[in-house]
Amino acid sequence: MSSPASSSDREKVVSKLPGWLRQNLKVRAAQHGIDIQTAVEQGIRDWCSLASTGQPVDTSGADSFSTFLPPGQWDDFRQSATDRRVSLIQGLAQSVQLWLDANPAPDVERPEITRRVIVCNQKGGVGKTAITAGLGEALAEDSDALHPVRVAKALTKALRASESEAGETEPVEDPLDIENLPGPGLKVLLVDFDPQCHLTNQLGATPLPMSGDSLTNHMAGDPKGDLRDLIVSIDEEAFGGRLHLLPACNDAFLLDVRLSAVRAREAALERALAPLEGDYDVIIVDCPPSLGLSMDAAAYYGRRRDGERAGQSGALIVVQAEDSSADAYELLTTQIDDLRGDLQVDIDYLGIVVNLYDSRRGYIATSSLQGWVDIKDPRVVGLIGDLKEQKEAVRVKRPLLSYAPKSQQAVGMRALAREVL
């Protein structure tokens, strides 16, 4: 049946499709960046132009499906189905399958040079580990599934709201600001570079024993084996084996001392991780709250390499909307700028993430957020609320995006991932 659509020059049509076929259609249309109605229109047009009836499609369990088509197309389709002696449901299913076959899922776009993200701030407690994990999880999500993402206008709205006085309640996300998008499907390595092992523990892995091999040993030039043997997979269905972790070891407390005896110590992290880069699209380093030699090595690892475009790799700075984060930010950027000058390298800032934000904390929070927004370069690329789901995920030692995939924090992490990309 059909009825005029009041919002456009199309007409609304109602039929039935099996759930699995409707889901494949939604995902594939999103992968190609087109509306479902456009995909169905193309499929019906191509089906009507076939010389004979297409291959039968299993339509058992089909339920209501509606879309909008150009005026007259549904009538032409109905006539074609009658001529071919197939039901409208079968004809529509064949049309959708025909479009799917003609428009396969695009390949995941992989970088020519492995991208390196250094998540840093010498101030502890700002949530670097949560941002490292959330960013990596979002980048590794399945490209053949849809995930709720906060669109760019929602971040802009939140940042503008910081200019007004805090309300009595935390702002609620507008459902219209959420869009379901395919995951990036990238291969991601998370590196726990912090001797406190927070990232390792939060993701349910075991810190490396002091008596064995570690990233510290490889950086100090005293490896005891292959660094690949230390890597563990984050075995959650949402990541499909694409998300891995290099656990930390408490021996990293001694890293600065050991690096002091190493030649070209700024390149120590790069020398250790370079053999792994061919296995990953992105490597994300969770840095310790330190401004020592280990931070120099991390910043140098994130420098722009020959042939790499600006903004592909670099430092992602995590802060909170309060005054002490601003002091720490100045210290960190001074160190990075000094390293740039001393070694004559380009180290890009990928942006600022304001984490654990809650406008109910009043003027301190809102005015501090506005201060971060005013910096402009680097600009604010993420605003993550202080909500319970992240704390719960840490408690149960599970990734946030699989524990609470529809939470506001998860939605914000996906938005951050797309800003960084």
Q: Return the bridge partners of 349, or none.
A: 315
What is the structure's pLDDT at 251? 86
- Domain range list for the chain: 2-102, 115-420
What is the structure's pLDDT at 66? 94
What is the structure's pLDDT at 8? 58
Residues of the chain with pLDDT below 70 are 1-8, 152-176
What is the structure's pLDDT at 157? 61
CB atoms < 10 A from the CB of 383, how many?
A: 24
Q: What are phi and psi of 384, to 5 degrees?
A: -115, 125
What is the structure's pLDDT at 168? 39
Spell 277-312 as b/e; 16+ CB within 10 A means b.
eeebbbbbbbbbbbbebbbbbbbbbbbbeeebeeeb
Q: What is the pLDDT of residues 233-249, one digit of tens each?
A: 999 999 999 999 999 99
Class of domain 115-420: alpha beta
CB atoms < 10 A from the CB of 346, how many?
A: 12
Tokens read off for 275: 């053999």
pTM across the whole model: 0.89
